[in-house]
């Protein structure tokens, strides 16, 4: 058996950063055989400048929106962003499929090996079946009118069944967001939640909480704009959006909460006190947060509470690129107190566990095939340089 040996300035294992004396050894198929000291590694070691890491896990993406790149200006706020999405979603199928293929290629070239992808339709299915990346498919359902709950659920099930045929253990039917589903629709989804993983967009804007606390804010404008009179069925709950809807998601064992830009200590306490049987994972999409709301999530608060964090890119409608390394740079730039080792763990090991792909991905444990990525430029103190790129090591 042929062995490949790699030595860089630093080696991140998925959990810790090792110094330049560490050598990664794989077989010719990329399966990890060992991590050893350079003195014991023998000859034919490939020398690399930078930091070696397992392949990145993108825990939140909307591949189907790739054709919208650059069409929505930054800093519109979430409600206007949603209205733009509704207007721009329809395009020629050929252009949408080409954008999907291009975006998948972009992710692969940026060192991403697996994706938690949101799907409202089956347009990404053909590309995903090619096996270029690993996917967990989150089939997203929305519908705020109780009268349309059954029809919306049935439409979602059609998409769900299409994906489940090819991805039987990696497909989940999930709610879109607290503000976009009726209680009836939440209950229909929860009743058939056979996959242990779910996800939901959470507290992406301040007005999301206001909508539940007092019934005020810009979401009233959203529903007025699309012709839905919510006064007959929406009543404020006097609690945050998270505390209002998590009790409606009883079946999933693991829930990925995406964005969390306006989560509070009270929300975290609520989860810890009332939902001990479920695991909550907090997905950071910092570039999208800046693109849409010009805000950042309270990562320090999440750290103080030992929250389990992962990283996502969101879509090209709300980001300039699908690149986990770019997300890492933004986090490190805005939260310089957080050790790089922690952020890399979110982007690899934590992400693989969140999507139940850690048998093969997320770390350089012996026997795994996680992909090998080189972050090619570092600062003098071992941080990630602004001009660094992720290079896939074949």
H helix or E strand, kind and range, residue 210: helix 206-213
Local confidence band at 210 (pLDDT 50, 70, 90 cut-offs): very high
* Predicted pLDDT of residue 232: 81
Looking at the chain, the whole-number percentage of residues with pLDDT higher than 70 is 100
The DSSP 8-state label assigned to residue 178 in this structure reads G
What does pLDDT average to over the chain? 97
Q: Looking at residues 362-379, what average pLDDT do you find?
A: 98
194 token code pair: 């056979």
Local confidence band at 91 (pLDDT 50, 70, 90 cut-offs): confident
> Taking the alpha carbons of 177, 182, 188, 190 in that order, is the dihedral positive or negative?
positive
Q: How many helices (H) and strands (E) does the chain have?
A: 14, 17
Local confidence band at 228 (pLDDT 50, 70, 90 cut-offs): confident
Residue 248 Cα distances to 164, 208, 275, angstroms: 23, 17, 11
Diameter over CA atoms, the chain? 74
* Predicted pLDDT of residue 30: 97
Give the right CATH number for 56-361 from 1.10.3720.10, 3.20.20.140, 1.10.15.40, 3.40.50.720.
Answer: 3.20.20.140
What is the domain partition of the chain in residue ranges? 1-54+363-394, 56-361
390 neighbors 49 (Cβ within 8 angstroms): no
Residue 231 has pLDDT above 90, yes or no: no
Q: Could you give the CA distance from residue 315 to residue 258 in angstroms, rounded to a whole number?
A: 13
Of 350, 380, 14, the closest CA to residue 22 belongs to 14
Per-residue pLDDT tens digits for 263-316: 999 999 999 999 889 999 999 999 999 999 999 999 999 999 999 999 999 999
371 neighbors 111 (Cβ within 8 angstroms): yes
Range 78-112 burial, b when 16+ CB lie within 10 A, else e: bbbbbbbbeeeeeeeeeebbebbbbbbebbbebbb
Per-residue pLDDT tens digits for 40-90: 999 999 999 999 999 999 999 999 999 999 999 999 999 999 999 998 888
Task: Tell me how far the alpha carbon of residue 268 is from its chain's centroid.
Answer: 20
Per-residue pLDDT tens digits for 11-26: 999 999 999 999 999 9
Q: What is the full DSSP assignment across 306-358?
A: T-EEEE----TTS-S---HHHHHHHHHHH-TTS-HHHHHHIIIIIHHHHTT-T
Per-residue pLDDT tens digits for 322-343: 999 999 999 999 999 999 999 9
> Taking the alpha carbons of 356, 331, 394, 42 in that order, is the dihedral positive or negative?
negative
CATH class of 1-54+363-394: mainly beta
Of 198, 196, 218, the closest CA to residue 208 belongs to 218
């Amino acid at each position: 058996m042929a062995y490949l040996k790699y030595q860089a300035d630093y080696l991140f294992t998925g959990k810790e950063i090792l110094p330049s004396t560490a050598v990664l050894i794989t077989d010719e198929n990329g399966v990890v055989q060992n991590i050893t000291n350079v003195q014991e590694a023998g000859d034919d070691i490939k020398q690399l400048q930078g930091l070696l890491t397992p392949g990145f896990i993108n825990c939140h993406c909307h591949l189907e929106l790739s054709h919208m790149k650059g069409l929505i200006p930054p800093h519109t706020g979430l409600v206007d962003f949603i209205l733009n999405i509704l207007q721009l979603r329809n395009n020629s199928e050929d252009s949408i499929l080409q954008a999907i293929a291009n975006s998948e290629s972009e992710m692969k070239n940026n060192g991403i090996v697996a994706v938690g992808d949101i799907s409202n339709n089956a347009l990404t299915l053909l590309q995903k079946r090619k096996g270029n990346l690993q996917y967990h498919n989150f089939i997203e359902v929305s519908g705020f009118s109780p009268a349309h709950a059954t029809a919306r659920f049935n439409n979602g099930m059609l998409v769900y069944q299409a994906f489940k045929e090819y991805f039987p253990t990696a497909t989940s039917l999930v709610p879109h967001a607290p503000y976009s589903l009726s209680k009836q629709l939440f209950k229909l989804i929860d009743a058939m939640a056979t996959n242990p993983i779910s996800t939901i967009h959470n507290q992406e804007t301040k007005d999301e909480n206001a909508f539940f606390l007092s019934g005020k804010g810009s979401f009233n404008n959203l529903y007025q704009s699309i012709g839905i009179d919510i006064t007959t069925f929406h009543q404020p709950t006097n609690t945050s959006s998270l505390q209002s809807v998590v009790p409606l998601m009883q079946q999933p064992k693991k829930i990925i909460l995406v964005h969390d830009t306006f989560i509070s200590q009270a929300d975290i306490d609520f989860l810890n006190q009332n939902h001990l049987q479920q695991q909550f994972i907090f997905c950071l999409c910092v570039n999208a947060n800046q693109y849409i709301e010009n805000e950042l999530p309270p990562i320090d608060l999440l750290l103080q509470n030992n929250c389990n964090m992962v990283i996502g890119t969101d879509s090209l409608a709300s980001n300039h690129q699908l690149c986990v390394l770019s997300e890492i740079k933004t986090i490190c730039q805005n939260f310089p107190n957080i050790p790089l080792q922690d952020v890399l763990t979110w982007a690899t090991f934590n992400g693989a566990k969140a999507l139940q792909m850690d048998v093969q991905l997320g770390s350089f444990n012996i026997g795994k095939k996680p992909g090998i990525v080189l972050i090619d430029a570092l600062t003098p103190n071992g941080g990630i340089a602004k001009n660094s790129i992720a290079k896939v090591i074949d």
